[in-house]
Structure 1
């Protein structure tokens, strides 16, 4: 199977499965509007918009018009979407084996849980497979070659400190620690914290490789890990920060509220800073490749005009 065929299958599969998630969220928003309640209306409406963007992104990965979209929105939505979903794949696998029934007492109907889980997992796997193929096909030079010397040691050190602190906090809670928490964490919560803590450690390595190491490492591992982990830190921290500040439906985070706000604010800043390091490493290859492609296209247009000129 060619990489193009695999990219298309991943994109179409992601769009199809995420449509199931989108359908459930639309039902939830409609039910709240009918009942006249608003506890979760704003956040559920936001997830409807996010899922709609996700379906569009998945189709862009699969179809030819996706290669012609402007780079900025593609990269941004791919960054946020993959940050939300791809790092959750290890957690979903672990939770299905170690805590298949959950411990939260959730009263969501089984059919809704199945559709939501299928949509979440399908989009995660589709992005994990299709997005790297799309990015490599569109901007191959962004991942080729080796990293240069130190680019931004101050920024990299700041990312390292922030990400290492978050990793220590999350792994401590995952291992049963209760410092700075108001209530015990169930198995599902500890599994998620454990997987995100490991991802954060991978992000710390990426920050070191991109911003501090002087000898040349291969570019693609640091760029790919940095892209994924920075998206995870930014997307999930922004979401949880909004939850902690707004408290929809009486939601209270397991951490003390000031701790939750500080923790997720650091996550947002660290994710954005790590993404800046990734862009600095990848941008020269993107600019160079786009420049060569533009030159080739201009040459083809010039030859076409010359061939169409009478007497040429």
Structure 2
């Protein structure tokens, strides 16, 4: 385990370092737009452009802080629920954006110059090298966190990653409604990603990137539903317990983070009705699915945090490794 811990610590530093170029670029966009030296992204007003990029600057700063918290001694003293929530939301964003970036890059490279006519918002204002650097920052952070986070969890809450004892092999250890709502939401998104038109208001406004992102979200919703179903049922399964735990964690985080992000944006577009922005989905259907996804993500996380009889929960075990903090480098 010492070798795995060293790898996890190096990955945590790598996650923080990977976000630095993203942070620098976003700060330069804000400063350059205020001074009139850089153009505003296509489809944005100056105020909207500044608000969006200021928000992403805060997210990047939080990501850098999270990466350092996973390796520095003071990270072991941060309240467990805060670290867990930030890691849950951050990993939820990244596991969806990484496949989206990879697939979108392949689609755009195959489409050639015609891909530049898509409505990706700010792409006309971004040089190719900046776009590549932003994608590398996302990819590097996601890969590094995928290694650093399990190492941190094992270091701080080793008991939470072990399969609990099953006293009743035919019973259930949690509610099943997140399984149902997650599966329904995932199937609806998968139907849209495959080209289904039921619930779509603007059929001609579905670029390839939209299909990819909706499809990735659908896959994570279905993965989370299947994983939590295996966890709440007391019947044995051949899948490793850490794999089920990670799948439920990442899938629920993806649903909560992305639908929590898109829900206010969808409501804003529906109420403000801007002339240069429109979503292909029917607003009522999209809002219903996003609300369901957010509630499902919270429900799955509550299921994961339920304390088993005779087993310390994640939040309760926060105090267990306190004596180890002084020995951390």
Same-fold status (TM-score > 0.5)? yes
Q: Secondary structure at the match of 1:286?
A: coil
1:63/1:230 Cα in 2 relative to 1: closer, same or farther (>3 Å)?
same
1:90/1:194 Cα in 2 relative to 1: closer, same or farther (>3 Å)?
same
Which residue number in structure 2 is paired with residue 189 of structure 1? 210
TM-score after normalising by structure 2 = 0.79
Which residue number in structure 1 is paired with residue 263 of structure 2? 241
The Cα of 1:160 is off from its aligned counterpart by 2.0
CA distance in 2, matches of 1:65, 1:109: 38
More helix by share: 1
1:49 has 2:58 as partner: yes
The Cα of 1:147 is off from its aligned counterpart by 6.3
| Counterpart contact for 1:7–1:130, Cα < 8 Å | yes
1:205 has 2:248 as partner: no
| Counterpart contact for 2:13–2:68, Cα < 8 Å | yes
Map 1:10-89 onto structure 2 (within 5 A): 10-34=11-35, 37-89=46-98
Q: Secondary structure at the match of 2:279?
A: coil
1:215 has 2:235 as partner: yes
Counting matched residue pairs gives 292
CA distance in 2, matches of 1:244, 1:290: 38
The Cα of 1:291 is off from its aligned counterpart by 5.7
Of residues 284, 301, 309, the one that matches 2:312 is 284
CA distance in 2, matches of 1:150, 1:62: 36
CA distance in 1, matches of 2:46, 2:83: 35
- Structure 2's unaligned 5+ residue stretches are 37-44, 325-329
Which residue number in structure 2 is paired with residue 151 of structure 1? 173
| Counterpart contact for 1:166–1:197, Cα < 8 Å | yes
Q: Could you list the runs of 4 or more consecutive aligned residues of structure 1 that deviate by over 6 angstroms after TM superposition?
A: none
Which residue number in structure 2 is paired with residue 92 of structure 1? 101
| Counterpart contact for 2:306–2:313, Cα < 8 Å | no
1:46/1:136 Cα in 2 relative to 1: closer, same or farther (>3 Å)?
same
The Cα of 1:287 is off from its aligned counterpart by 5.9
CA distance in 2, matches of 1:195, 1:67: 33
Which residue number in structure 2 is paired with residue 309 of structure 1? none
Q: Secondary structure at the match of 2:163?
A: coil
Which residue number in structure 1 is paired with residue 3 of structure 2? 2
CA distance in 2, matches of 1:232, 1:15: 21
Residues 36-62 of structure 1: per-residue CA shift (max 9 Å, x gap) = 921233232211111101000011223
CA distance in 2, matches of 1:119, 1:291: 34
Q: Secondary structure at the match of 1:39?
A: helix
The Cα of 1:271 is off from its aligned counterpart by 0.9
CA distance in 2, matches of 1:6, 1:242: 38
